[in-house]
Structure 1
Amino acid sequence: MADTEARWYVAHTYSGYENKVKADIENTIVNRNLQDQILEVYVPMQEVEREGKDSKKLVQQKMFPAYVLIKMFMNDDTWYVVRNTRGVTGFVGPGSKPVPLTDEEVASMGLMSSVAEAPFSIGDSVIVTSGIWEDTVGIVRQIDLKNKTVTINIDMFGRETPTELSFNDVKVCD
């Protein structure tokens, strides 16, 4: 039961335990040094509009209540860790055999977008296109592909100050 490539699997949980299961699995990954086998634990969320007494507000809601998505190499160790996490009732699949999500299912949930590339590299000069730093030029120091943010150094009062911005708020200088 060993995979040669990391795939997305779905673990069924008790309702309301999704975030607790995610946190427990992430702690176990660190404690057992499984970072190279269990790569990502994800509870899909979506923004929905809720009506209150006086106004409407946007809130985060689970897309699949009672399910947690896990990108991992399936083997006896990873199966055991996930299956024996408090709150997990089992994997989605026939019997005790987990079935990975297809590439189409993964793409439809937007999970493949986390492997996107940044339109710039560390050390590039970029210009801020919106917000309070608009028209400010900075040097890329860090890129976070998962959250699609970039940390740039901006000269403020004669000192370089790190500032985190969205990919959409900067562009490479010509």
Structure 2
Amino acid sequence: MSWYAIFVKTGKEDELCLYIKQIFEKSKVQIQLLVPKRELVEYYEGVKRLVKRTMFPGYILLKTDSIEQMYAFLSSRWHSNIYALLKSGGFFQEIPAAEIVPIINLINKDGTITSSTLFLENDKVIIKEGPLLNYTGLIRKINARKGRAKIILNFLGRECKIDIAIKCLSIIKE
């Protein structure tokens, strides 16, 4: 099965994805639809929010082994917000494996590329493994290259500065 792109109205990708799925539920044409998204942290009015944004606005990725049959079936039920199946030289333009495989490898089962945890100085963290399990502290310095952080924590009644692997930390959300 090969991947293709459908050009649609921007902002209508999810809605049209459901529409196309409904059309092909009863047909014998096997399809897989994908609207890749990415998680982003956005600040709005001073508040940090995690949002999902479409990676390729105006496109739905389609996987099928019979593109001509799929196109014929879809064109008989054309929607005004579906503009075209991408073509090149009169043929449907297949997305090369070198371009689609990295996208497939990055997304989760919901079709989203999730954001990684970002540690910043002065973030409040909790230690999630090792002998200091469940101790909390503040990050004072980060060495991203070595994957380590210097944190300050209260240990046995005094303030201690320790060097710990970032993978052992989890941010405390306030």
- TM normalised by structure 2 equals 0.54
- Where does residue 29 of structure 1 map in the other structure? 24
Quick one: distance in 1 between partners of 2:12 and 2:89? 22
Higher strand share: 2
Alignment of 1:40-55 (within 5 A): 40-55=32-47
2:71 matches 1:71: no
Q: 1:96 to 1:14 in 2, by over 3 A?
A: farther
2:11 maps to what in 1?
Answer: 16
- Partner Cα distance (2:71, 2:89) in 1: 13
How many aligned residue pairs are there? 108
2:49 aligned with 1:57: yes
Q: 1:108 aligns with which of 102, 108, 112?
A: 102
Taking structure 1 as the reference length, what is the TM-score of the superposition?
A: 0.54
Per-residue deviation at 1:31?
2.8
Return the offset for 1:82.
Answer: 3.9
Is 1:94 matched with 2:80? no
Q: For residue 24 of structure 2, give the secondary structure of its aligned residue in structure 1.
A: helix
Q: Kindly indicate whether the alpha-carbon contact (under 8 Å) linking 2:7 and 2:58 is maintained by their aligned counterparts in 1.
A: yes
Retained in 1: the 8 A contact 2:6–2:84? yes
- Other structure's SS at 2:46 match: coil
Contact 2:13 2:35 in 1 (8 A): yes
| Coordinate RMSD, CA, aligned | 2.5
Query: In structure 1, what is the Cα distance between the partners aligned to 2:14 and 2:108?
Result: 20
Task: After TM superposition, give the deviation of residue 33 of structure 1 in Å.
Answer: 4.0
The secondary structure found in structure 2 opposite 1:109 is: helix
Does the aligned pair in 1 maintain the 2:36–2:107 contact within 8 Å?
no
Q: 1:96, 1:14 → 2: CA distance?
A: 22
Distance 1:71 1:56 in 2: 36
- Note closer, same or farther for the CA distance 1:72–1:114 as it changes in structure 2 (3 Å cut): farther
Q: What's the CA shift for 1:110?
A: 2.3
Q: Any idea what SS the aligned residue of 1:11 has?
A: strand
Cα distance per residue 1:104-149 (max 9 Å; x no partner): 111121259789xxxxxxxxxxxxxx9xxxxxxxxxxxxxxxxxxx
* Aligned residues with identical type, % of pairs: 19
Larger radius of gyration, structure 1 or 2?
A: 2
**Residues 97 and 31 of structure 1, relative CA distance in 2, 3 Å threshold:** same
Q: Which runs of 5+ in 2 are unaligned?
A: 110-127, 129-174
- Structure 1 unaligned segments of length 5 or more: list them: 1-5, 116-129, 131-174
Contact 1:91 1:97 in 2 (8 A): no
Q: Is the 8 A contact 1:50 1:58 kept in 2?
A: yes
